[in-house]
Structure formats: structure tokens, C-alpha cells
Amino acid sequence: MSLDSIRLEGVTTHNLKSVDVSFPKGKLVVAAGVSGSGKSSLVIDTLFEHSKTLYLGALSSKSLDMGDGDYQFDRIAGTQPPVALRQRDGGYSNPRSTVGTLTGLDGLYRLLFGAGSRPVCPACLGPTGPDLFCDDCGCFAEPHSAKHFSPNRKEGKCLRCDGIGELVGFALDKIIPDRSKTLTEIWDGADPGTFAVPNVRKAFEAMAADIGLDLGVPFEKLSPEQTERVLHGSDTIYTLKIRKVTNDFRFEGILGFLERAYRNASSAARKNAFTNYLGREVCPGCKGGRLRPESLGATVAGHTFHDFQSDELSRSITRLRDGLSSGAVPAQVRELASAIVKQSANIEEVGLGHLQLRRPVITLSGGELQRLLLAQHLASDLTGVMYVLDEPTAGLHEADTGKILTSLRRLRDLGNTVIVIEHDESVIRAADWIVELGPGAGSRGGEIVFEGRFTDLLDSGDSPTASAMRTGGPSRTRADLADAAWLEVRGITRNNVVDQTARFPLGGLTCVSGVSGAGKSSLVAGLHASISRAIAQRPTGTTAANTGIRGAEVLDDVIYVEQRPIGRSSRSTLVTYIGISDHIRDAFAGSAEAVERGLGRGEFSPNVAGGRCESCKGLGLAEIEMTLFKSEFIVCPECEGRRFQEHVLDVRLGDKNIHDVLSMTVEDALGWFDAKSSPKVVQALGVLGEFGLGYLQLGCSTTTLSGGEAQRLNLAGELLKQRRSRTLFIFDEPTRGLHAADIRHLLALFERLISTGNTIVVIEHDVKVIAIADWVIDLGPGAGREGGRVVHSGTPEELADNAASVTGAFVRRLRDEPGAPMPEPDPAGHPRPSAAPDLGVIGELLPRAVTVVAGTARQSERNGPTPYGLVIGSLTVVSDELALIGFLVRSGSTSWNAIAETGRFCVNILGEDQHEVSDAFSQGRPDNRFDALAWTPSANGCPRLPGAVGTIDCSLKSTYRIGDHEFVLATVVSVDIRGGADRRPLLRTERGDSALDDYGWRRFAREAEAR
């Protein structure tokens, strides 16, 4: 076996059919295939889990018995230390965990402020002198440490909210959400265990009778004095008989009772009874900053600790970079500030610059969490590691895919093996090696249908992935909007979305698009809340004008199908999730044999004692507890995985027992169940078959489903609820986790819903789906503070021509070249052309022509682009076929460092009349070389010099250290030659063999190689 690869032989985990496969080490490998084909079974459940077992065992001086595990194989060799970056793992559900705590940036900022900020006066919060003395108040301030900026330490936390940042209390709007209800209705509808308890209600009724309060009066009709009595009670004592016991009671009011009972609750369960009535408000003491006033007043580079916590990471990076360049960051913490900038930049590079440090981790999507963990590893120096990632582009806009690819390549270039489970075409095209499983899903998959490079994949006739790429995108019949009714919601405000309007056609498919963090989920959540409120208020006579909604009168319901995991319990199965398990058990319990044996429905349930195997409690698996690690599971030796006792398995329905039926696939069960005797079962199985889930077993655990399978099962479950027409369905990224070949099942669901009079709104990133929608609402133009605005509301064709829309650029590309592959975005989010530009025209002159590399500094983009440029000593074509060019720059060059951060630049070929420009760039300061030049943006937004013979727009590929210089390798995006017949390039003056070699390279390159 070669030491350069990881070899797996005879893998039979789950649906894998004795798979033999190799993964080359030190490469970017993509595992592709339709949903359910076995990708996760091979890469995560087998390779990663086995590798983890090996390396955990190696950490102990004793031999660890890790059990048989859930994977099966003959041989695995050549594995490396594994790291899995999954979309959602246990361990990230702590509600107090934030982006700052997860990444460690919180701790770095505390150190920064502890050592780099000057304490303010504890009395007036004014500035202090070098001796920490306040001249105005005549008192000294306490020296700072990192503890003073921790909300969990007594030295730093706000005493009013105990460092939480908000106050929790009972909110009247939650206790009485509908003030039109009468007092009797309010008590009847109260949550169990709250103020509805008998003694409180009796005391209230006694007080009401005493003061003449009519219990049939709506709450909103009460006088101020009556409202006070209902909420805060009275001092009168009433003698009441409750359940044969006579006692004295005082009605303390709804709020009075809730506050006392919550305060005195002795258990978490008791406190949970009041959860629905609790509200939160920002702490007035710290304004949400969680720290005491003295800590909140301290600054570094003119900004407070709370500023860095509450602002987007990209904005914080700009502040620190500006502070470092201006000298505003104290010398003793400059190195620490640079480390914060570097780590934050890694997070920004994976498309998460819009996140705030204080944002709770539980609010992140699975894709955002995985990319956050990816950024953590980019900051490490680990080499020789096997990284496994599960769909890192999930939930990512096409414009951000280039950032992920750059990050994955960086991990690979550090000497690691990167294995990615992925459906995205751009990632598949960028892979060094592709392993595709299939050809189908479930029992029809589990085989290797392709191993090799992307160029060979396209010629593979057995590859569903290649077939999907060759046939283009999905198709559907668009709705005719000429006579469509419209729904309009105004004033949507949530998170970064402020006072926006959403307008879309009823009876059609609307896509809500935009870059990651643009505000799509916020807009849709606001849309859902507004329409839900309008439907709920309809009986009260509230007019549409008052709710800011037009057209909602034709809707009877609104359903929000969110992206969420299903079947968190190992006992959740396919039949329990879709609600047909009881029908199957009833069928068995009704058989003559079951009646004779006295067996009821419960005996045929693996979750109820009596019929299930008690050794494994009906799971079919036996648990092996590990002292230090999580438990392992093996097939139960008592029931051999059949989950039931023998006397239950002896009962047969037709020719099958309960285990046989639960082991059947959906397709097989459809042919076995009788439509007349089991109509509900047949109907449900038919829907699952329509959406490509016919290969799943009825008794399979929902925790074992792939992301794409779980998504389709979730959507099919909504259809099975048999809702009426006139419903607005909202789907959150329904194509996430779906192979291109599986999207047809999703569109079939949409068409069925639309054909029965429903309306669909989806949050979507897939450009091919956006292009066939009836209507598109695009948000942006950027993420976070730079987004939150509707930049387009119209048809996909109109979106393609909208220059303000990032999504529009990709739709336009798809429209203009429908057969061409989707271009790979560069790290800045601009689509790259699919074909390599022709460099033959300029290839021969490049080594001798004087050229200026020009770009803009990332940290100044918010205040307008600041151009940087430098003259390079030599430039040559490295590859005509791949359109790669290369050149040398001096390490530490201020101009090059500013340009390299953005990942894109423009190479300007100077004309022979531009000696002055060349001299200015060779001698002038980096930050003022463009002062006298009226430059214009090139095709990718970088400075084009006036009078240049030609420009080459480039995207940075990689850099390599050569002595005191860096060799830059760049991908050519476009070439523009405008020299004309009478224009010639400015050539460098020959300085003899000591300066240039035969290729125009300066001698320092060869000297560096010699060293």
C-alpha cells in the first residue's frame, strides 16, 4: 500500500456494499453523490470514527477496549489524526456560549483592555491621570486587570443584572396577550400551576364580589383602579372554604402572586411553569453591556469593550487596524491587538464578518457554526491532520463560496488532508480528487461510481453528479403573474432589517435571496409574524391598513417550515415521525393470532414494556459504557437486533412479523399494504415515494438520516398534514443538503402545494432554483450593517439586470451562458469566468514590460477605497492552460500586504510614455502614490492607471517564501489590451547579466534559490 494515501477496504457500514477506496493524503478530496448514497457512512461513520478510536487509544498507556462500534470494514490503513468539523454537534448548545467565548476572542479582548486601557474615575467616570488620580473628584481609580472586563467576575460584572445584560421579569403582554378577553376567560386560559390555582382564583373572585367587579368585563375595559386591583390585589382578608378546608386568604394580584411564587420556587420544574409569562428587557444599569460602569467607560484606541462586543467582526477589525496604524493602540498590547486582528480576519475570510462576539452560538445555523470552527483551525499550525467537513457551503451564498475554497486550500497547503462531503458544483470543480458514491440512495447506493479528477468526472457515464452538471439546472412551469393577486407587508423591522417592504404574488413561488447575513431570515421571520398576527386578529375586526398588510384576507393560515434536526431521540423512527406507527400496530393487534394471544397495540411497540426486548429496551442495540469516552453500541445479543420478544415476533400479518414489516423499504411496503384496509399507511408511504425516499426502511432511526433525507422527510411531513388551500408556506433553505439530482423531488412538492391554491416563499441560495422562481426578493447589498435592505423585488429576469444585486450577477451568468458551469467566485465574492483567458497576446512581453500591481486596502473600504500599488521587478506566464501568472515582491512590502488582504488586484502594463508613473511608484510613499492620478476601477474593482497599455485582473492563488522575497501565484480573471497600433509597452532598461536573466527575472530570485 502507498504511504501517500488512506486506504479503506471492505467497508459495509450501513448501506455500503463492501467498498474499497483510497483518499490521497495532502489533497483536497470531495465525497460526492446523491442524498443517502453513503457519503457520511463512509467518511464520517467509518473513516473518522475509526481514526478517532485509534488516536484516542494511543493517548492512553493502557489498551482501551472501544467496542465494535457502528462501522464495519475489513481493513483501514494509512489514516491520520482526525478532526471533524460538523454542522451541528452536541456540546454547542450552552445558551451562555457566544461567538466570543467559542473562538477565544473574548479572552483576548479582556487581556487587551486589562493591560491597554486606562481606568476612569469611579465617581464621575471621567479620565484619570498617569497616577490614576481624578483631579475633579480627588479620588484614585483601581488599576485594571482582565477580571475587570469579565461579566462573570465580581470585579467586572454589572451588579444590577449580575452580568447578564438584561433583566427578567413578568410581562403583562405575555400574561394577557389578548386584552379583549374577559377576566373569566383570562383565568380559564391561564397556564397550569400559575395564578389559575384554586385558592388564588377563589380569593380573586371574593375580592371582585367585594368591590363590585364584573368578571365578564374585558380586561381592556377596566378602569385604572380596577386594573390595579387585578394586577396587584388588595389588603383585604377573606375567609374561604376550599376543598373542605377553611382558611384566610388575601388576593395579592396576578403579578404579585407570580413574582412571589417564582421567587420561592424550589425546583427547576416549578420555575418552568412560569416560563411563558416571563419577559426580558435590557438592563438599565449597563445598557446590555454586562459590565460595571467603570469597566464600560474604559477605552482602547477610542473604543469601549462593549463596542467590540456588539459590533460586527469586520467593523472591529477595521477599528483595531486603524488604531495600530495610527499608534492609538498602546505599545504594550500592540502584539495582542495584531493577534486579535489575525484571528478575526480568519473568521471574516470564511464569510462570517457580519457576526458579533456577543451573539449566542445556539442562534448560528449549522453552516455558520462549521465555518466558525474552520476559522479556528486556520489559525492553528497543525500539519499532517485529516480534516473532515460535512457540507461547509451549506447556507452559503454563491458569492461567499470562494472564501470557503480559499480556506480549505489553506488547510491543505499546510500539509493536511481535507475531505469534504459536498454537493456544491464550485467545490467539486476545485477538488484535487473526487470520490462519488451511488448510483442511487439507500439500497440502490453504497457503491463507488467514480474515483479521480474533475476533468475525468465529466466523461463518466455512471456519475449522477456529472449527469446533473451536463443537463443544466431544474425546470418548472412559471406562474402567469398578469392576473395574480398580491400580498404586501410593510414596515418589517427585525435585527438588521429596518422598515422594509416585502411584496410577492399569491399562488406562486417567491425566492428570498441575498448574501449570507444579508437579513433573509430576519425578513422572513418578520413576514411570518406579521401575517400570523393579521390572521389571528381577523376575528377582532382589525383592518389590513392597521397591520401594514395588503392581500392577507385571502390567506387562512401561514406555516413556517424551518431548518431543524428531526428525531433527536434514538427511538424516533420513520413511521413514528410521519404518524403511521399506530396504524401498523393496530393492524397487527387486530389479527386473529394477536387476539388469541391477548396482545394489544402496546406489545407491538418497541417503546413499551411487555412486547419489546427488555435487554436492549427495544432499541436493537446494546450499549457499552465507556469510562472516559462516549458509549459505544453493538447489535443486541439477546434479540439479535429484532427489538421484540419471541412471542410477539411469532404473530404474523400475512407472511410477515412486526420486525419484517419495520425492515421493509417504503417501496416494498407500498406493494405489501392494502390500500383499502390501511389507507393512511398507503397514503403516507406514497408521498415518501414521490419525494425520492422509497429506499428508506420503515423502522430506520431518524437520527441516522442524512441532511438531505431529513429535509425531504420534514417537507413531506408538512404535506401529509392535509392542510387546506389558501395557506402560505415558508421554507428555510429547502435545497440545503440536496444533490442537484434530488431537487426535482423538492420542486414536485412545491408544484403540488401551488396547484391546490397555496403560496410558497423560500429562503434560497441555489442560483438555479432562484432563476426559475416566479418572483425574487433580494436583500443586501452586503451582510450585517451593510445589508438588511431590499435591493430587488421582481422577476428573475429583472434581477439578472440589476447591477446593485450580488445575486443578480450569478443569475445573469446563468442566463447568458445556460450550458456553462457556474463560475468559481474569487475570495472577494466576484464570479470568475469558466474559461481561462487567453494570455498568448501578452505572454512574450510580460517578462520585460514595466508593470504596476494595484489594489485597494480592505480596512478602508467603508470610507471609500484607498488604492495601493507597486512596480514589480518581473512577471511571467506560469501556465497558459490554467491562466496563471507569477511575480516576486519583497517580503514585508507595505503596499503588497495591503493589496494581498483583499485577494484581488489589477496588473497595469505601462505605456512607453509613462516613465513618470513608474518613477512615482518606485519612489513615492505607499499611501500617496495615487494622489496625482485620476485612476478608474478595472473589471474587478481595482485601480486601473490612466494611459495603461493593458490590464490583467487577477485573483490571488497562493504565495511562497523565497529568501527575502515572496513568489506570488495568481489566477487571471480577465485581460484587457487597449494599446492601439501606435502604443508600445514601457520596457525595462537592460542592466546586464548581473541584473536580469534570459527570462527577465532579477538575479535575486536565483540567488535566493541558491541559498
Instruction: Give residue-wise pLDDT tens across range 512-565.
Output: 999 888 899 999 999 999 998 888 877 655 444 446 899 999 999 998 887 666
pLDDT band at residue 861, thresholds of 50, 70 and 90? Answer: very low
**What is the rounded average pLDDT of the residues 612-639?**
77
The C-alpha cell at 318 is 477595521
894: amino acid identity, one letter: T
Neighbours of 341 (CB within 10 A): 20
Confidence (pTM)? 0.70
pLDDT given at position 862: 43
pLDDT band at residue 366, thresholds of 50, 70 and 90? Answer: low
CA distance 876 to 918: 19
pLDDT(901) > 50: yes
Contact at 8 Å (CB) between 71 and 412? no
Mean pLDDT of the chain: 84
CA distance 886 to 874: 9
**Rounded to 5 degrees, what are φ and ψ at 712?**
-65, -35
Residues 39-94 pLDDT 10s: 989 999 899 989 988 887 776 544 444 444 567 888 999 999 999 887 655 456 66
**What is the rounded average pLDDT of the residues 179-194?**
86
Place of cell 417503546: 607
Burial class (CB in 10 A: 0-12, 13-18, 19+), 390: buried
The C-alpha cell at 364 is 448560528
The 3-state secondary structure of 356-367 reads ECCCEHHHCCHH
pLDDT(893) > 90: no
SS3 136: coil
**What is the rounded average pLDDT of the residues 753-780?**
94
The C-alpha cell at 790 is 431590499
The DSSP code for 697 is B
**What is the rounded average pLDDT of the residues 797-816?**
89
What are the C-alpha distances in Å from 755 to residues 506, 507, 691, 734, 752?
A: 12, 8, 17, 19, 5
Q: To the nearest whole percent, how much of the chain has pLDDT over 90?
A: 37
Contact at 8 Å (CB) between 295 and 307? no
What are the C-alpha distances in Å from 86 to residues 90, 224, 566?
A: 10, 56, 16
535: amino acid identity, one letter: I
Contact at 8 Å (CB) between 434 and 457? yes
Lowest-pLDDT range of 19-28, 634-643, 756-765, 795-804:
634-643
Residues 679-715 pLDDT 10s: 989 989 998 888 778 888 899 888 777 666 777 787 7
**What is the rounded average pLDDT of the residues 476-480?**
89
CA distance 45 to 42: 6
pLDDT band at residue 957, thresholds of 50, 70 and 90? Answer: confident
pLDDT given at position 993: 41
Torsion over CA: 738, 741, 743, 748 (sign): negative
pLDDT given at position 219: 92
pLDDT given at position 368: 79
CA distance 615 to 612: 9
Helices (H), 281-379: 293-297, 305-310, 313-326, 334-347, 366-378
Give the DSSP H or E segment for 54: helix 49-58
Contact at 8 Å (CB) between 233 and 256? yes
What are the C-alpha distances in Å from 721 to residues 578, 705, 715, 718, 734?
A: 9, 21, 10, 5, 18
Q: Which long-range contacts (CB under 8 A, 24 or more apart) does 746-751 make?
A: 746/691, 746/712, 746/715, 747/474, 747/476, 748/690, 748/691, 749/691, 749/715, 749/716, 749/719, 750/476, 750/509, 751/476
pLDDT(443) > 90: no
Contact at 8 Å (CB) between 340 and 320? yes
The 3-state secondary structure of 412-432 reads HHCCCEEEEECCCHHHHHHCC
Residues 309-323 pLDDT 10s: 999 998 999 999 999
CA distance 763 to 636: 43
pLDDT(836) > 60: no
The C-alpha cell at 972 is 487571471
Neighbours of 690 (CB within 10 A): 15
pLDDT(995) > 60: no
Residues 719-744 pLDDT 10s: 777 666 899 999 988 888 788 888 88
Contacts of 652 (CB under 8 A, 6+ apart): 591, 593
pLDDT given at position 64: 45
Contact at 8 Å (CB) between 24 and 4? yes
Contact at 8 Å (CB) between 605 and 594? no
pLDDT(970) > 80: yes
pLDDT band at residue 632, thresholds of 50, 70 and 90? Answer: low
Residues 242-288 pLDDT 10s: 777 788 889 999 998 888 888 888 777 777 778 788 888 889 999 99
Residues 134-185 pLDDT 10s: 999 989 999 999 999 999 899 999 999 888 888 888 888 888 888 888 998 8
pLDDT band at residue 1004, thresholds of 50, 70 and 90? Answer: very low
Contacts of 184 (CB under 8 A, 6+ apart): 215, 216
Residues 90-144 pLDDT 10s: 456 666 788 999 899 999 999 999 999 999 999 999 999 889 999 999 899 999 9
The DSSP code for 190 is S
413: amino acid identity, one letter: D
Preceding amide of 781 cis, omega within 30:
yes
Give the DSSP H or E segment for 204: helix 198-211
pLDDT given at position 797: 94
Q: Which of 251, 227, 230, 256 is nearest to 239 (CA)?
A: 251
Contact at 8 Å (CB) between 880 and 839? yes
Torsion of CA 711, 714, 720, 722, to 10 degrees: -110
pLDDT given at position 286: 93
pLDDT(191) > 90: no
Q: DSSP per residue over 725-781, as a string?
A: SSEEEEEESTTTT--GGGHHHHHHHHHHHHHTT-EEEEE---HHHHTT-SEEEEEES
pLDDT given at position 605: 92
pLDDT given at position 1000: 41
Residues 13-45 pLDDT 10s: 888 999 999 999 999 999 999 988 999 899 998
pLDDT given at position 446: 93
SS3 770: helix
pLDDT given at position 904: 84
